[in-house]
Structure 1
Amino acid sequence: METKEVFINGLGLIGSSLARAIKKRNPEIIITAADTNKNTLKYAISNKIIDKVVENLENIKTADIIILATPVDQIIKMLHELSKLQLKSGAIITDVGSTKQAILKAAEELVQPSVTFIGGHPMAGSHESGIAAGRADLFANAFYFLVPLKTKNKQIKELQSLLQETNVKWFEIEADTHDKLVGQISHLPHIIAATLVNRTENEFADSKLGMELAAGGFKSTTRIASSDPAMWSAILKTNTTILIDQLAKYQQQLSEVQEALSNGDQEQLYNLFFQAKNSRDKLN
């Protein structure tokens, strides 16, 4: 099926970047969109990121591909709404949510046989948010997870073709494996960064000197603490079981560091940094 019309719900950093990438390679495709922020929609129209604003879900019935690019809780709510509509035959629905088990469960409500749901998650982003921060090359060389509800290779290839300009590395994965993986390498680091900033702010509550003197190490470690609070609280809410387990393991390792400090165990402290350096250097 030739893609002629795409509907995007949510024109924040991710949604607007996808829209830009689609338009860059396929300017003839009509992109319609919805967003709770009217200023965002005005920006999208004036900058030719989208072609039309959708104010009623009835108007998305002509869309070939529907992209849900809102926080996870809103994606789940939208899937419930879409399940009540008679969508275009052959339509593909996908999302960009950071957890997948809860979303795929909600997608099971889509009983229209000619409609395909493909869970998606581009592993790219920024501590900045909003439509003005979006760009067509945001996802370049990043992994883009695909979690199909039911494997349909034709529809997967169609989605990949639409998003070809993103230049991502496609990776199919099971929902539970995905949530455990991103819990460790994405969600947990966001929790750690946020708590480190808050702990430091509390530590120097009586003096601004500490935060004012924060330099490269602190800033680079906590950069992601500037991420959108609404989005991240919604993400964590749908991955609680996995995160509780990962937090417990992390707290255990912190306890071991505390014990090593108390015992003056320099060897253990050395091994902590040696192992971390070897692992981190492999990412460069």
Structure 2
Amino acid sequence: MIKNAVIVGLGLIGGSMAKALKKYTDIDIIGVDINRDSLHKAFEEGVISYGVTHLDFQVDADVVFICTPVGKVIEKTKNILPYLKKGCIVTDVGSTKKVIMEEVQKFLPDEIFFIGGHPMAGTEKAGYDNADADLFVNSNYLLTPFDNVKEDVLDLFINEVIIKIGAKPVIMDYNKHDAIVGIISHVPHILSATLTNFAHDKCSEAFKYAAGGFKDTTRIALSQTEIWKDIICTNKEVILELLKNYREVLSDFICYLENDDIDTIQKFLEDARKYRNTIT
């Protein structure tokens, strides 16, 4: 049974996890964050029972959530290990997995279980003030456990945490994870930022007339720069290959337009509409 948790990082995801655990479970939570205001708010709201800016003491945690930007997950995981009991589950919420999993494996003790985690939920907003207890409801929660994670330990984490907060657990290999999120998350973010920069450089006055389509397409360009810098750099190989593939598709479309190939343009748009309708 999972009774105690530590959450490192009370931003949008970490704060939402804390609020979700408080709302849907009886798990007691220690919060760790360098932002004292976030700790104070979480404590005042009764979300956490204790808050510290730095964990340097033994804790009776059954599970630890590392909810920092991707670039800090490895360091934070390594730093917290001396204060954990045997059998503790450590998990992250990062948008990339290969770099994290391969680095953590180098120093993880046999008696600690690391389960890579990535809740497919979030917004372009940031910080504890935007945290939501229902953020994970009906969302896929991707899991990439190490081979040493026993089946009963993984089942415990899924049943006591993932399902109770309303998410849908999906277990996969970390390489497959990075390939999938590269397609549906990382490249789209780059394209959103690219379109925003392109429009500004071409005609910044056009922003005054932007309506729903442009705003929807560029919304994720509002996301935190530090977080996305880390994500892109830790999934570099996957993203590079996908961008090259995307460039080929764009080049093909330019040819259709140059050659007045109306039938192919129509099919291109119809296919996109058909594929988009399959997303629930």
Specify the alignment match of 2:63 in structure 1.
65
Match runs of 1:3-82 below 5 Å: 3-27=2-26, 29-82=27-80
Cα offset, 1:74, TM superposition: 0.6
Cα offset, 1:86, TM superposition: 5.0
Specify the alignment match of 2:242 in structure 1.
246
Cα offset, 1:59, TM superposition: 2.4
Residues 11 and 131, structure 1, Cα contact 8 Å, conserved in 2:
yes
Cα offset, 1:181, TM superposition: 0.3
Q: Secondary structure at the match of 1:112?
A: coil
Cα offset, 1:229, TM superposition: 1.1
Mark the runs of 5 or more structure 2 residues left unpaired by the alignment: none
Specify the alignment match of 2:227 in structure 1.
231
C-alpha deviations, 1:220-255, integer Å up to 9, x for none? Answer: 111111111111111111000000000000011111
Does residue 118 of structure 1 match 2:105? no
Q: Secondary structure at the match of 2:6?
A: strand
Residues 86 and 112, structure 1, Cα contact 8 Å, conserved in 2:
no
Q: TM-score, structure 2 length as denominator?
A: 0.95
Matched pairs, number? 278
Distance 1:60 1:277, change over 3 A: farther
Residues 127 and 227, structure 1, Cα contact 8 Å, conserved in 2:
yes
Cα offset, 1:136, TM superposition: 1.2
Match runs of 1:98-137 below 5 Å: 98-137=95-134
Specify the alignment match of 1:188 in structure 2.
187
Q: Secondary structure at the match of 1:33?
A: strand
Specify the alignment match of 1:152 in structure 2.
150
Residues 36 and 53, structure 2, Cα contact 8 Å, conserved in 1:
no
Q: Secondary structure at the match of 1:58?
A: coil
Q: Secondary structure at the match of 2:111?
A: coil
For 2:275 and 2:221, how far apart are their aligned partners in 1? 23
RMSD of aligned Cα (Å):
1.5
Cα offset, 1:106, TM superposition: 2.0
Mark the runs of 5 or more structure 1 residues left unpaired by the alignment: none
Q: Secondary structure at the match of 1:59?
A: coil
Stretches of 4+ aligned residues off by more than 6 angstroms? none
Cα offset, 1:3, TM superposition: 2.2
Cα offset, 1:34, TM superposition: 1.2
Q: TM-score, structure 1 length as denominator?
A: 0.93
